Structure 1
Amino acid sequence: MDLLQLRAFTSTQPVTSENSWPALNLPVMISPMELDHDICYRALASRDARFDGRFFIAVKTTRIYCRPICPARTAKQENVLFFHTAAEAQELGFRPCLRCRPEAAPHSGAWRGVSNSGFSNTVSRALRLIEMGALDEGSLASLADKLGIGERQLRRLFEQYVGASPQGVAQTRRVLLAKQLIHETAMPITDIAFAAGFGSVRRFNEVFQQLYQRPPSDLRRDKQAGASTGVTLLLRYHPPYDWQAMLAYLSARAIAGLELVEDGIYVRSISIHGVQGLVSVQQANSHALAATIHFPNLAALPQIIARLRAMFDLAADPDMINQQLALDPLMKKLIAKRAGLRVPGAWDGFELAIRAVLGQQITVTAAIKLAGKIVAQYGEPLDTPDAQYPSLSHVFPTAAILSKANLTGMPQSRANTISALAAAFEAEPGLLSTGSNVTETCTKLLAICGIGDWTTQYIAMRQLREPDAFPASDIALIKAITQLEGPCKLSARAEAWRPWRAYAAQHLWTALGDTIA
């Protein structure tokens, strides 16, 4: 199934306006390659939240672009244009609306989770890298090198699939993040400039003056700028979201000293390039999680946000995923119970890979105990333990340390695999980084002694965010399908769930837990 086919599925549920417009039978899924003007205009008139983040509206008379749910009076049809991304609208000279705040739209999943889609897969990887700040510090040439293509080809692909240049996408990301920080935090304007990825305060002021026709400080409302012990931001998503299922997954796998789940909040220690910090995440409302970030290096904020978004699978489009999976009778039943189920991700690729190896052929509880011992013995102690969460004491060990560690308490073969895996990461730190090519990365992992198909598929699901990854040999998955339908060859049965087999696996694992409970 190619990208166009994937986005062609439509909802049969009527769109009911919150502003008393007539109910409309509109397609919720809108193709990223072509936006139908009439359909989009009807969606705009309906003000339905399901369209939020899926496209943006630009008004030619005011030169402003908005979200579909903007409360402003609907412009005449001949005066509006529709774009897939904010970057596309912004690059054509439209400025963000101050009422509906495009930076507050759910993060579009249009370019996420599209596997084996040729050039669009390259664009998807590029967008992930840009989200992580690849063009804040690096050049377009270095980004193209990471993707294995030339600069000219990268520009052409972005023009074809995104409607904006890579630099335009990066600039829009900086502007919208800065705008969010202005509205949602009390950070000083100078700090916001660097946290959003601007190279200088002067450039930051110039961009905002050009876009909003006023200085950044004029956009701040009811917040006194000043020092803060942490930055709290809303991470928005398309509902539904099964937060309890996500917490249950994380709680069962929480490594002592590294992370915990308490009172509906997930908390963990983090380390980026040797700098330590702490993050906590909880559900803010039905459309957003609230993340509180304690980290001394403000320039790392975009990367931290991007990691958290991936970890909590916030770019997923549940309407599209559920609609495709529900064509299968079994998945239809499971989705009816948990429509908001997400595929939990990972904070760090190396950490996830070690977890996967530790989990080979043993229970989750046993694997987490082993991980706790490794963290306590080889993880770097926190420089400043948090008074609110004193049990968090270490960050996860680095590849350099584990490659030379004398691991005990496990089969020697597994200890050897961890050492070899750590050595591979030491030689290639970006082995499981954002934007990695799934096929190439899995091939490299399989070359490491002790890593097989189950481990690579599990890593592809959790870290590489491959929506069609599926560890068919997983004992729990086999047990789940046997309980639900009877014995079968799972790999053959799973063909009906493409291209969302990772989500099908998550439903099966969760259903097995529900059955056991």
Structure 2
Amino acid sequence: MTTLDPETCARARMARDSRFDGRFFVAVRTTGIFCRPVCPARPPLERNVSYFSSAAEAAQAGYRPCLRCRPDAAPGSPAWGLVSTTVQRALQLMRSEREAVSVEELAARLGVSSRYLRRLFSEHLGASPLSIWQAERALFAYGLLRDTSLPVAEIAFAAGFGSLRRFNAVFRQVYQRTPTEVRREGNAVPLSRGSSVVRLQLAYRPPFDWGQLLAFFRPRALPGVEQVVDEIYQRSFSIDGQHGFLRVENESARNRLLVEVHGQVGASLYLINRRLRRLFDLDADTDEIEKVLRQDSLLDRQICRCPGTRLPGAWDPFEYALRAILGQQISVAAATTIAGRLVAQYGTLVPDEQGCEYRLFPTAEQLAEADFSGLGLTRKRAETLRTFVRAVLDGRVDFNEPDLEAWCTRVTALPGIGDWTAQYIAMRGLSMPDAFPASDLGILKALGEGQEKAKPKDALARAEMWRPWRAYGALLLWQSLNPEKQS
């Protein structure tokens, strides 16, 4: 289990320091309630509190979530990114499935025994896999009950419960209250008849540089799929056969993103929530990341200019992997244009509620027989795409691989894919924080002196001090090349 420093936690909760929101939770023994460190209620005496590194741990210990500060709205715990590789992969698999996966099935997919997996969870997270799953899904459902007008049965399904009865039992166990009681206290605006818009609120820890994220996404927005309009990001999506469209904007005064999800996609809301958190890197521990990167004077200067940098992720690893392959040895603008042609040729055209049309990025199954002609690709690049699609379909490429070295070894074994592509897919498509495309021209230019570019081996050597956050170092180097665009 993650060890917390009581003195640091005490200072943070007394100051209601938003930088610690989600990094730990405060349990009050006299009331049986646990809170976020930013809770507006009067702080309890130190002798009456205990600290937990996750909401699941607090719930497992028998504490009820606070109805005022709402632990369901806290950013994800960055401490969980520091647990063992096996636990990381287990959490990733649990969160990538809409419904619960049994411990036995989870262990089998990880290649370990169920007994060993339970022991790892107890050791690192202080709770069983089932308790973690139930606490996370109950917390997610609580937010939907308070903030949306979705029927309780639909919320239960969206949170991954197979039956309303099971959902009610787990929810009551975690919250000591029924879903209906929570719904009565909510502040959601009722939807108009026929409307299919759901609004989500995604919290983050400041600082958070929304402007830099949009500046990164804007020139890379995929025609027909993505748009960055003013300060709003929007895109189409498809999950488990359900498709829709979403809009995201920043509410900086309350440290959260506001999301509008359009379409009949209620059953996929949990997965949409997880993908958006990864896309915008909302659970990053910027304090810890910057502490390491500030050891390098060049990165230190860039952090001072742009605090709160986040690693731009990807909505879908497969989509991003194809875009990275298309982007080999050509400009961002050219790669985006070709990717737009791929969508126009193979993507599904879907009308929205207003009669407008958007496209969905094609799946691996849809591209199984594609020859990729007419996109402006060389014969060799088209063959690389076909090989990669086949490797995804036959399981040679696993987007749930948690180990950077293993991922790169497996992907570079495919013809036409080198280390730059493998690292870049890992960095953005899989959100691996230590990925580092050392041969990238932008990185070499930023690390060079005068007009002289650095060499890849020198870039790798210098980046050793940035571990395990080399991907953030790469991003800061790219930003340093365009100081006039910095927010």
Scaled by the length of structure 1, the TM-score of the pair is 0.87
CA shift, 1:209, in A, is 3.2
What amino acid sits opposite 1:209 in the alignment? Answer: R
**2:335 pairs with one of 350, 364, 367:** 367
CA shift, 1:506, in A, is 0.4
State the alpha-carbon separation in 1 of the partners of residues 484 and 38 from structure 2.
40
Aligned to 2:223: 256
Contact kept, 8 Å, 2:75 with 2:203, in 1: the verdict is: yes
- Asked if 1:105 is matched to 2:74, the reply is yes
Aligned to 1:223: 188
What amino acid sits opposite 1:327 in the alignment? Answer: Q
State the alpha-carbon separation in 1 of the partners of residues 334 and 427 from structure 2.
21
Indicate the SS of the match to 2:50: strand
What amino acid sits opposite 1:221 in the alignment? Answer: G
Deviation string 1:85-137 (CA, Å, 9 cap, x unpaired) is 1101101111111111111112221123x4xxxx6122122222223346x34
Contact kept, 8 Å, 1:45 with 1:74, in 2: the verdict is: yes
Aligned to 2:170: 207
- Asked if 1:164 is matched to 2:127, the reply is yes
Contact kept, 8 Å, 1:461 with 1:502, in 2: the verdict is: yes
Give the 3 Å change call, closer, same or farther, for CA 85–487 of structure 1 in structure 2: same
State the alpha-carbon separation in 2 of the partners of residues 262 and 95 from structure 1.
41
State the alpha-carbon separation in 1 of the partners of residues 408 and 284 from structure 2.
22
Aligned to 1:191: 154
What amino acid sits opposite 1:333 in the alignment? Answer: R
- Asked if 1:495 is matched to 2:464, the reply is yes
Indicate the SS of the match to 2:79: coil
What amino acid sits opposite 2:440 in the alignment? Answer: D
**2:25 pairs with one of 42, 47, 56:** 56
- Asked if 1:320 is matched to 2:288, the reply is yes
Give the 3 Å change call, closer, same or farther, for CA 429–349 of structure 1 in structure 2: farther
State the alpha-carbon separation in 1 of the partners of residues 450 and 96 from structure 2.
40
- Asked if 1:473 is matched to 2:439, the reply is yes
**2:60 pairs with one of 91, 112, 121:** 91
Aligned to 2:363: 398
**1:129 pairs with one of 89, 93, 114:** 93
Indicate the SS of the match to 1:400: coil
What amino acid sits opposite 2:444 in the alignment? Answer: I
What amino acid sits opposite 1:457 in the alignment? Answer: Q
- Asked if 1:269 is matched to 2:236, the reply is yes
- Asked if 1:415 is matched to 2:378, the reply is no
Indicate the SS of the match to 1:233: strand
State the alpha-carbon separation in 2 of the partners of residues 353 and 224 from structure 1.
39
State the alpha-carbon separation in 1 of the partners of residues 46 and 405 from structure 2.
45
State the alpha-carbon separation in 2 of the partners of residues 321 and 486 from structure 1.
29
Contact kept, 8 Å, 1:400 with 1:423, in 2: the verdict is: no
State the alpha-carbon separation in 2 of the partners of residues 429 and 381 from structure 1.
30
Indicate the SS of the match to 2:162: coil
Contact kept, 8 Å, 1:311 with 1:345, in 2: the verdict is: yes
Contact kept, 8 Å, 1:378 with 1:397, in 2: the verdict is: yes
Aligned to 2:111: 148
What amino acid sits opposite 2:422 in the alignment? Answer: T
What amino acid sits opposite 1:261 in the alignment? Answer: V
Give the 3 Å change call, closer, same or farther, for CA 352–483 of structure 1 in structure 2: farther
Contact kept, 8 Å, 2:326 with 2:381, in 1: the verdict is: yes
Give the 3 Å change call, closer, same or farther, for CA 194–516 of structure 1 in structure 2: closer
Which has the higher mean CA deviation after the structures are superposed, 475-484 or 265-274? Answer: 475-484
Which runs of 5 or more residues in structure 1 are unaligned? Answer: 1-31
**1:233 pairs with one of 187, 196, 200:** 200
Deviation string 1:181-232 (CA, Å, 9 cap, x unpaired) is 1122122222211111222222222333344443222223343655642211
Which has the higher mean CA deviation after the structures are superposed, 276-285 or 350-359? Answer: 276-285
State the alpha-carbon separation in 2 of the partners of residues 386 and 448 from structure 1.
42
Indicate the SS of the match to 2:359: coil
Deviation string 1:293-314 (CA, Å, 9 cap, x unpaired) is 2342422211111111111111
Contact kept, 8 Å, 2:55 with 2:135, in 1: the verdict is: yes
CA shift, 1:482, in A, is 2.2
Give the 3 Å change call, closer, same or farther, for CA 484–90 of structure 1 in structure 2: farther
State the alpha-carbon separation in 2 of the partners of residues 203 and 404 from structure 1.
43
Give the 3 Å change call, closer, same or farther, for CA 97–192 of structure 1 in structure 2: same
State the alpha-carbon separation in 2 of the partners of residues 407 and 210 from structure 1.
53
- Asked if 1:504 is matched to 2:473, the reply is yes
Aligned to 2:320: 352
CA shift, 1:386, in A, is 5.1
Which has the higher mean CA deviation after the structures are superposed, 61-70 or 477-486? Answer: 477-486
What amino acid sits opposite 1:318 in the alignment? Answer: T
Give the 3 Å change call, closer, same or farther, for CA 329–224 of structure 1 in structure 2: closer
Which runs of 5 or more residues in structure 2 are unaligned? Answer: none
State the alpha-carbon separation in 2 of the partners of residues 200 and 393 from structure 1.
34
State the alpha-carbon separation in 1 of the partners of residues 15 and 201 from structure 2.
25
- Asked if 1:293 is matched to 2:261, the reply is yes
Give the 3 Å change call, closer, same or farther, for CA 491–441 of structure 1 in structure 2: closer
Question: Alignment length, in residue pairs?
Answer: 476
